[in-house]
Structure 1
C-alpha cells in the first residue's frame, strides 16, 4: 500500500477538478435562481472555467519544467483552494466567475500537467499503466460523486458547501506532499516564452468566445449581436481571428525553436501520429461528455422539473458505469489494445446517443433513460482508461510536463467547446423550432405572432414553460393563445435538446477518423518515445 500513497495524493487532485464541473452542471437551475440570472450566463461561467484551463494548461506545463513539477503541483493546489474559498462565499455572479472560472481554472492549469508528469515519474512499466487507469477511475469517481453529492447538498443545504469542503481536502493533500517523489533535474531549466503564452491564450479565447456567443449572435444572420461585420453576425469573424492568432503562434514557435530559444511548446511533438491521435481523442471525449452533461441536466431540471438531487440520482448510472469501466479498462487495454478499445468506446457512445434521442419525451421513461446513461458511462470510462497512458507513452521522460500540458489543453479545450458549441446549437435549434411552431400554429393570431417575434428578436433562452406562460399572460394574450404559445415553446424545447444530442452523436462518429494511428497493442509504459533532437543555444 505504501507504494501507492503518491497515487492517492495525486489522484485526489484529479478527483477535485472533475467534481467541480459535475457539481456545477446539476446545480444550473439553483445557480440561475441564486444569482437572478439566465441559463446562458451560467453556461458562460462553466465555459470560462474550461477555457481558462485550456488557455493556460500549456503554460502550466512549461512552468512545471521551470520551477519543478512537485513545486508547481503544490503551488497550483494553493491557488485552487483560494478560488474554492472565494466561490463558496460569492455574493454576485461576477465573483463566482472570478473565484471558480478564473482562479480555480488557473490553479487547475498549474496542477494537472504536473500531476500527469509526476504519475509517470513515480511509477514505471506496468505500474504506470495501472496508475493512469486509476487516474481515469478517479475522474469517473468525480463524475459519479459530483451529481449525487452536488445534487443533495444543493437541494437540502447549499452548493457553497461543496467548495468549502474542497478547501479542507486541498489542505489535507498539502500536508501529505512528502509521499510524492521527484528526481533532481539535470541540465539547465528552460525559460518561459511570454509571447507564445499570450498568443496561445488569445487564440484559444477568441475561438471559444465566438462559439459560445453563436447562440446569441447567430452564426451568419445576425440575431442579437453587439455589432455586425459587413451586415453579418460577428461569430465566424471572431472564430477566424482566433484561428489566425493560433497560426501566428505556430509561426512564432517554429521560429524560436529554429533559433535555439525555448518555445512554449515544441510543435514537433504534434507530428507524432500516436500522440496527435491521443490528443484529438481526448478533445472529442470531453467535447461529447461536457456537451451532454450541459444538455441533459437542462432536460431533467427545466423540462421535467426535477431538483438538483433528483437530477443527480438520474445521472448516477453514467457515473457508476464510468467508474467501473475506467477501472477495468486498463486491464482490457493490455489484452485488446488501445485502438480497439477506443473504437468500442466510441461505438458505445454512439449507441447511447441513439438511445437518448429515443427517450427525450415530455414524460421521462426512467428505465430507458437509466439504460442510455449506463451505456454512456461505459463508453466514457473505456476512453478515460486508455488515452492518458497513450499520450504519456508517446513521449520521452524529459517531455512529460510538456505532454501533460498538451493532454489537459486538449481535454479542457474539448470541455469548453462542448459546453459552448452544444449549448449554442441547443439555443439555436430552440429559437428556430419555436419560430416555426409559432408561424404554423393556426390557434395564434397575427398580433400574437408579432409579439412573439418581437420577444424572439430580443433573444431566447432555455426556461421552464411556466415562465413563457407568464410572459404571454403579461403581454395580454387571450387564454387560448397563451396555451398555444406555451405548447409551441414546450415542443421547441424537445426539438432543441434532440438537436444538441444529435450533434454530440455526429462528433462521436467523426471521432472514429482519428483512431487509426492509435497503437494496436498496449505500449510499454516505462519507456517513452525517444526525444527528437532540438537546437541547442
Structure 2
C-alpha cells in the first residue's frame, strides 16, 4: 500500500476538482434563485471557470518546470483552498465568479499539470497504466459523488457547505504532502515566455467568449449584441480575433525556438501523432460531457421540476458506471489497444445519446432515462481509462509538465466550449422553436404575437413554464391565450434540449476522425525489463 500513497494524495486533488464542477451543474436552479439571476449568467460562471483553467494550464505546466512540480502542486492547492473559502461565503454573483471561476480556476491550473507529471514520474510500465486508470476512476468518482452530495446538501442545507468542505479536504491533503516525491532537477530551470503566455490566454479567451455570447448576440444577424460590426453580429468577429491571436501565438513560439529562446510550448511536441490524437480526444470527451452535464440538469430541474437532490439521484447511474468502467478498463488498452477502446467508447456514447434523445419527453420515464445515463457513463469511463496514459506516455520525462499543461488545456478548453457552445445552441434552438410555434398557433391573436415578438427581441431564458404563464398574465392576455403561449414554450423547451443533445451526438461521431493515430496496442509482443508505456505508445502508433 505504501507504493500507492502518492497516488492517493495526487488523486484526491483530481477528485476534488471534478467534484467542484459537478456540484455547480446540479445546483444551477438554486444558484439562479439565490443570486436572483438567470440560467445564462450561471452558464457564464461555469464557462469562465473552465476558460480560466484552459487559458492558464500551459502557464501552470511551465511554472512546474521552473519552480518544481511538487512545489507548484502544493502552492496551487493553497490558492484553490482560498478560492473555495471565498466561494463558500460569496454574497453576490460577482464574488462567486471571483472565488470559483477565477481563484479556484487559477489554483486548478497550477495543480493539475503538476499532478499529471508527478503521477507519470512516480510510476512506470504497468503501474503507470493502473495509476492513470485510477486517476480516471477518481474523476468518475467526483462526477458520481458531486451530483448526489451536492444535490443533497443544496436541497436540505446549502451548496455553500460543499465549498467549505473543500477547504478542509485541501488542508488534509497538505498534511500528507511528504508522500509526494520529485526527482531533483538536472540542468538550469527554463524561463517563462510571458508574451506567449499572454497571447495564448487572450486567444483562447476571445474564442470561447464569442461562442458563449452567440446565443445572446446571434451568429450572423444581430439579436441583442452590445455593438454590431458592419451591421452583423460581433460573434464571428470575436471568434475570428481569437483565432488570429492564436495564429500570432504560434508564430511567436516558432520565432523563439528559432532564436534558441525557451517557448511556452515546444511546438514539435504536437507533431507526435499519438499525442496529437490524445489531446483532440480529450477535448472532444470534455466538450461532450460538460455539454450534456449542463443540458441534462436543466431538463431535470426546469422541465421536470426536480430539486437538486432528485437531480443528483437521476445522474447517479452515469457517475457509477463511469467510475466502474474507467477502473476496470485501465488495463484493457494493453490488450485491445487504446485506439480500439476509444473507438468502442465513442460508439457507446453515440448509442447512449440516441437513447437519451428518446427519453426527452414532458413526462420522464425513469427506467429508460437511467439506462441511457448508465450507458453514457460506460462510454465516458472507457475514454477516461485510456487518454491520460496515452498523452503522458507519448513523451519523455523532461516533457511531463509541459504535456500535462497541454493535456489539461485540451480538457478544460473542451469543458468551456461544451458549456458555452451546447448552452448557446440550446438557447438558440429554444428561441427559434418558440418563435415558430407562436407564429403558427391559431389560438393566439395578432396582438399576443406582437407582444411575444417584442419580448423575444430582448432575449429569451430557459425558465420554468410557470414564469411564462405569470409573464403572459401580467400583460393582460386572456386565459386561453396564456395557456397557448405556455404550451408553445413547454414544447419549445423540449425542442431546444433535443437540439443541444443532438449536437453532442454529432460531435461524438466527428470525434472518430481524430482517433487514427492513437496507439494500436502491444498484445503478444514480449516486454523487456524497464520498458514503459512511452515505448508502447511510440512503437504501436498506427
Taking structure 2 as the reference length, what is the TM-score of the superposition?
0.97
CA distance in 2, matches of 1:271, 1:62: 19
CA distance in 1, matches of 2:39, 2:533: 47
CA distance in 1, matches of 2:410, 2:17: 15
Residue of structure 1 equivalent to 2:148: 148
CA distance in 2, matches of 1:382, 1:104: 28
Residue of structure 1 equivalent to 2:114: 114
CA distance in 2, matches of 1:354, 1:169: 38
Residue of structure 1 equivalent to 2:99: 99
Residue of structure 2 equivalent to 1:88: 88
- 1:445 matches 2:451: no
Contact 1:395–1:529 (CA under 8 A) maintained in structure 2: no
CA distance in 2, matches of 1:229, 1:488: 33
Residue of structure 1 equivalent to 2:193: 193
- Residue 522 of structure 1 and its aligned partner are, at CA, apart by 5.2
Residue of structure 1 equivalent to 2:30: 30
Residue of structure 2 equivalent to 1:467: 467
CA distance in 1, matches of 2:522, 2:455: 56
- Residue 335 of structure 1 and its aligned partner are, at CA, apart by 1.3
- Residue 529 of structure 1 and its aligned partner are, at CA, apart by 6.5
CA distance in 1, matches of 2:218, 2:286: 24
Among 527, 534, 541, the alignment partner of 1:528 is: 534
CA distance in 2, matches of 1:522, 1:63: 35
Matches within 5 A, 1:408-427: 408-427=408-427
CA distance in 1, matches of 2:329, 2:49: 29
Q: Deviations over 1:452-498 (max 9, x none)?
A: 00000000010000000000000110110000000000000000000
Q: Deviations over 1:33-88 (max 9, x none)?
A: 00000000000000000000000000000000000000000000000000000000
**Runs of 4+ off more than 6 Å:** none
- 1:512 matches 2:518: no
CA distance in 2, matches of 1:258, 1:528: 27
Contact 2:211–2:235 (CA under 8 A) maintained in structure 1: yes
CA distance in 2, matches of 1:508, 1:329: 20
Residue of structure 1 equivalent to 2:293: 293
CA distance in 2, matches of 1:24, 1:363: 25
Residue of structure 2 equivalent to 1:214: 214
CA distance in 2, matches of 1:475, 1:203: 44
CA distance in 1, matches of 2:329, 2:77: 29
Contact 2:126–2:533 (CA under 8 A) maintained in structure 1: no
Contact 1:144–1:320 (CA under 8 A) maintained in structure 2: yes
Residue of structure 2 equivalent to 1:232: 232
Contact 2:129–2:533 (CA under 8 A) maintained in structure 1: no
Residue of structure 2 equivalent to 1:535: none
Q: Secondary structure at the match of 1:277?
A: helix
CA distance in 2, matches of 1:237, 1:273: 32
Number of aligned pairs? 531
CA distance in 1, matches of 2:522, 2:345: 16
CA distance in 1, matches of 2:292, 2:5: 34
Contact 1:60–1:110 (CA under 8 A) maintained in structure 2: yes
Q: Secondary structure at the match of 1:36?
A: coil
- Runs of at least 5 residues in structure 1 that lack an aligned partner in the other structure: 533-537
CA distance in 1, matches of 2:204, 2:316: 33
- 1:401 matches 2:407: no
Contact 2:128–2:533 (CA under 8 A) maintained in structure 1: no
Residue of structure 1 equivalent to 2:353: 353
CA distance in 1, matches of 2:96, 2:534: 41
Q: Secondary structure at the match of 1:197?
A: helix
Q: Secondary structure at the match of 1:191?
A: coil
CA distance in 2, matches of 1:32, 1:246: 34
Contact 1:54–1:412 (CA under 8 A) maintained in structure 2: yes
Matches within 5 A, 1:55-74: 55-74=55-74
CA distance in 2, matches of 1:270, 1:124: 23
Q: Deviations over 1:388-411 (max 9, x none)?
A: 000001101000000000000000
Contact 1:396–1:527 (CA under 8 A) maintained in structure 2: no
Q: Secondary structure at the match of 2:225?
A: coil
- Runs of at least 5 residues in structure 2 that lack an aligned partner in the other structure: none
- Residue 526 of structure 1 and its aligned partner are, at CA, apart by 2.5
CA distance in 1, matches of 2:390, 2:265: 19
Q: Closer, same or farther in 2 for the Cα pair 1:522/1:206, shift >3 Å?
A: farther
